[in-house]
Amino acid sequence: MLKKEIETQDRVWDTASLELLEKAKTESIETCFTRMDTQRNQCKFGSGGLCCRICHMGPCKITSRSPRGVCGANADTIVARNFLREVVGGTAAHSDHGRHLVLRLKKVAEGNGNGYKIKDERALRYAANLYKIEESGRQKENVANDLADLFLEEFSNQEEELKTLALAPLKQLSIWKNNNILPLGIDRMVVESMHRTTMGVDHDYRNILLQGFRTALADGWGGSRIATIVSDILFGSPSPIRSQSNLGVLGEKTVNVLVHGHEPEVSEILAIAVKNPKLLDYARKSGAEGITLAGICCTANEILMRHGIPVAGSFLQQELAIITGAVELMIVDVQCCMPSLPEVASAYHTEIISTTEIAKTIGVTQYSFDSENALESAISLLKRAIDNFKNRDPKKVVIPPVSTPLIAGFSVDAIKYMLGGSFRASFRPLNDAIMQGRIKGVVGIVGCNNPKSKLDDYINSLTLKLIKQNILVLKTGCAAIASAKEGMLRPEAALEHAGKGLREVCEAVGIPPVLHMGSCVDNSRLLEAATEIVLEGGLGDDMSQIPAVGVAPEWMSEKAIAISCYFVASGIDVILGHPFHISGSEKVTQFLNKDTAKLFGASFHVYEDPDTAIVKIVELLNKARKRLGIDKKVERKLFDMHDRRELDV
């Protein structure tokens, strides 16, 4: 049966995307949106988690007539195993990204940094202290060397627990210990999980799922946290910075270069190279007015946070960016780069280049970025883009005039300084505002977009509801880009949309009501922020006690599964906009959505629309406030009024 065709305006939220989707239609260009249609009636066994192809007696699928696979595995085992393998995928992605950065730090420490250096010595010394590495009176290279060695051991440790876990509140550690999920070395966790899910090993769904949380902790409190720490050391800790977002950041008359993916190493150098006067000269001689460097997905977030390089778009806009017909070069690295890109690009003059050996796509030019001579490499990449400018076909160019201002760059350090001032940087004012009820709680909205639902709709609708109810919103990844495009990352958004209490706080501190904290690996910053709140005191002694909730409204990636698992294991309830592939097992569903509350003080909740999600979030925050005894009468009256006003509509 054919579904009726989805109207273009039901696929995307912002007008820039809408315009380009219409253009794609007229030019008969296939995108993920149209491919979603051809993939209609997606596999029910897959979505239930009930297909097992782990051994070659199978593939087996579980039905009421065949409740066990050939080996005897039942639905619970199969669903749990599939789930754990997804967590492994996400953990591996974040952690391998972290590993590359650590290896880079090691080279820099050894004096072979070439284009790379220790940009933020303060961040280095701060990290060294966290890990009890002697730093005072020592040269930064020596400190960096010790830190890099320690981090490398975090990947390779066989029997020792991750040292990075010690950055969590003490009580948190004991919760993990009591549940036997303290992770060992990151690589070991990934390998062990793959082992345990192979044919004939771990069959108790509870044991498998606990390993899922353990592996996810190795991501959030391991690989991702390390990636963030090392990025800050090498590229600088972000601090508030202005920029622009959406496809209108592309230039009509400039050479447009997009960086897309996740690893900041190449884009960092590009951000420097793009200012090279000789290159600008070369661009002008080639008929362009300059070079526009902009980003897609999390590479965008990385260089936005540190350099204010504009964000062209999020995950679902990667093809649309090319469809503008105005992109000379798109440089891709790892994760979230669609294999369709060369096909889309073939309709225009756009060249796509991969700078990573581990990420090749047929039709994409492989470019071996010479990190020994990083700056020269970056310059030659940009030259290539300039040379391609003459091939742009003006008849095919449509750049929607949509570009929204934003402020990003909210590392935990930056938030601390903004809140407490430079003399006494601290989270105290935030804790106080939460205790007084001016801020009801904190919600982290993370994750991707997914063509199963209208681009940015859930994220933006929910964000608005949250800030109206005096809930401070922290963001990363494509969820942050959604808010950027919607104008919610401007301080004025507090005045325009926030509830009274949150507005007062934002105005006093000078922050937007929605804080952009970085890329996907930077979800570790959310853990860091939650830790700061706990350590600051007054709001409980582990993360499950603070009024905080995580939401992944439009998620699609295995990485989002790993992230939400480490949130839950860290005591933070997670609302999912659509369920995991686990519906085939009631027991697995019950374990993840209910039993975890007893183990970690948090669980998963599925709410497919923002109207029901907001009710649940407010309920969770209010419960936490009540437990803490900060739901004082006066304030409650005030909030109930707000709640009702919001919920009635």
Binding site for ligand SF4 (CB under 6 A): 52-55, 57-60, 69-71, 73, 78, 199
Measured CA to CA, the distance from residue 293 to residue 451 in angstroms comes to 26
Spatial CA neighbour of 490 closest among 467, 522, 465, 470: 467
Q: For 394-406, give the DSSP string.
A: GGG----S--EEE
Tokens of 404: 């929204």
Give Cβ neighbours of residue 314 (< 8 Å, ≥ 6 apart).
296, 297, 448, 449, 455, 456, 478, 481, 482, 485
For the CB of residue 76, give the shortest distance to ligand SF4 in the complex, in Å: 12
Nearer to ligand SF4, 71 or 152 (CB): 71
Is the Cα dihedral 598, 223, 164, 121 positive or negative? negative
State in angstroms the smallest separation of the CB of 43 from ligand SF4: 16
Binding positions for ligand XCC, 437-466, rule CB under 6 A? 447-448
């919610």: which residue's tokens?
488
Min dist. Cβ of residue 376 to ligand XCC (A) = 29
Residue pair 294/258 in contact (Cβ under 8 Å)? The answer is yes
Residues in contact with ligand XCC, shown as a per-residue x/- string from 615 to 644 under the rule CB under 6 A: ------------------------------
CB of 298 to ligand XCC, least distance (A): 3
297 binds ligand XCC (CB under 6 A): yes
251 binds, among ligand SF4, ligand XCC, none (CB under 5 to 8 A by kind): none
447 binds, among ligand SF4, ligand XCC, none (CB under 5 to 8 A by kind): ligand XCC
Nearer to ligand SF4, 35 or 53 (CB): 53
Distance CA 144, CA 25 (A): 52
DSSP summary character for residue 219: I
Instruction: CB nearer to ligand XCC: give 333 or 532.
Output: 333
* Nearer to ligand XCC among residue 99 and residue 559 (C-beta): 559
Closer residue to ligand XCC (CB): 18 or 448: 448
10 Å Cβ neighbour count for 357? 9
478 binds ligand XCC (CB under 6 A): yes
Asked whether the beta carbons of 544 and 602 are under 8 A apart, the reply is: yes
Q: Which residue has the tokens 């190279």?
A: 273
Q: Which of 392, 438, 559, 587 binds ligand XCC (CB under 6 A)?
A: 559
- For 517, other C-beta atoms within 10 Å of its C-beta total 29
Selected from 143, 330, 336, 435, the binder of ligand XCC by CB under 6 A is: 336
Nearer Cβ to ligand SF4 (135/202) = 202
* Residue found under tokens 């508030």: 240
Helices (DSSP H) in 348-427: which residue ranges?
374-388, 412-420
Identify what 185 binds: ligand SF4, ligand XCC, none; CB under 5 to 8 Å per kind.
none
Size of the site for ligand XCC (CB under 6 A): 13
Q: Is 574 in the site for ligand XCC (CB under 6 A)?
A: no
Instruction: Please give the Cα distance from 145 to 112 (Å, whole number).
Output: 12
Q: Which does 315 bind (CB under 5 to 8 A by kind): ligand SF4, ligand XCC, none?
A: ligand XCC
Q: Are strands 51-52 and 60-61 parallel, antiparallel or unpaired?
A: antiparallel
DSSP label of 202: -
Query: From residue 301 to residue 320, what is the string marking binding to ligand XCC with x (rule CB under 6 A)?
Result: --------------x-----
Cβ–Cβ under 8 Å, residues 288 and 386 = yes
Nearer Cβ to ligand XCC (115/222) = 222
The residue (of 57 and 170) whose beta carbon lies closer to ligand SF4 is 57
How far, in Å, CA of 292 to CA of 361, rounded?
A: 25
Neighbours of 183 (CB within 10 A): 29
Which residue, 279 or 446, has its beta carbon nearer to ligand XCC? 446
Q: Which is nearer to ligand XCC, 408 or 498 (CB)?
A: 408
Choice between 269 and 479, CB closer to ligand XCC: 479
- Residue 430 belongs to what H/E stretch? helix 428-436
User: Shortest Cβ distance from residue 371 to ligand XCC (Å)?
Assistant: 22
Whole-number minimum distance, CB 81 to ligand SF4, in Å? 8
CB of 199 to ligand SF4, least distance (A): 4
| Residue 159 DSSP one-character state | S
Q: Which of 77, 557, 564, 593 binds ligand XCC (CB under 6 A)?
A: 557
**Nearest to ligand SF4 of 60, 230 (CB atom):** 60
| Cβ closest to ligand XCC, residue 185 vs residue 451 | 451
477 contact choice in ligand SF4, ligand XCC, none (CB below 5 to 8 Å, kind-dependent): ligand XCC
Euclidean distance between CA atoms 468 and 460, whole angstroms: 12
Phi and psi, residue 23, nearest 5°: -60, -40
Determine how β-strand 404-408 pairs with β-strand 241-245: antiparallel
Instruction: Return the number of the residue (257 or 446) whose C-beta is nearest ligand XCC.
Output: 446
* The entry of ligand SF4, ligand XCC, none that residue 448 binds, CB within 5 to 8 Å by partner kind: ligand XCC
Q: Which is nearer to ligand XCC, 298 or 379 (CB)?
A: 298
520 binds ligand XCC (CB under 6 A): yes
Provide, rounded to whole angstroms, the least separation between the CB of residue 484 and ligand SF4. 44
**Nearest distance, CB of residue 190 and ligand SF4, angstroms:** 20
Omega before 59 within 30 of 0, i.e. cis: yes
Degrees, nearest 5: CA angle 566-621-438:
120
Question: Counting beta carbons within 10 angstroms of the beta carbon of residue 225, is it exposed (0 to 12), middle (13 to 18) or buried (19 or more)?
Answer: buried
CA–chain centroid gap for 529, Å, is: 15
Task: Name the binder of 69 from ligand SF4, ligand XCC, none, CB < 5-8 A by kind.
Answer: ligand SF4
Minimum CB separation from ligand XCC for residue 557, in Å?
4
Choose the one of ligand XCC, ligand SF4, none that binds residue 209, judging by a C-beta under 5 to 8 angstroms depending on kind: none
Quote the Cα angle for 516-519-520, to 5°: 120
In whole angstroms, how close is the CB of 480 to ligand XCC at the nearest point? Answer: 8
Encoded tokens for 391: 């091939």
Does the protein bind ligand XCC through residue 245 (CB under 6 A)?
no
Q: Encoding tokens for residue 598?
A: 């007893």
Least Cβ distance, residue 84 to ligand SF4 (angstroms): 14
Q: Contact at 8 Å (CB) between 73 and 66?
A: no
Minimum gap (Å) between residue 508 Cβ and ligand XCC: 31
* Interatomic CA distance for residues 385 and 388, integer angstroms: 5
Q: How far apart are CA 251 and CA 98, in angstroms?
A: 33
What are the tokens at 91?
A: 């953990």
3-state secondary structure of 563: helix
The reply on whether position 100 binds ligand XCC by CB under 6 A is no
Q: Which does 57 bind (CB under 5 to 8 A by kind): ligand XCC, ligand SF4, none?
A: ligand SF4
What is d(CA 81, CA 87) in angstroms, rounded to the nearest whole number?
Answer: 10
By a kind-dependent CB cut-off of 5 to 8 A, residue 199 interacts, out of ligand XCC, ligand SF4, none, with ligand SF4
Which residues are at the interface with ligand XCC (CB under 6 A)?
Answer: 262, 297-298, 315, 336, 447-448, 477-478, 519-520, 557, 559
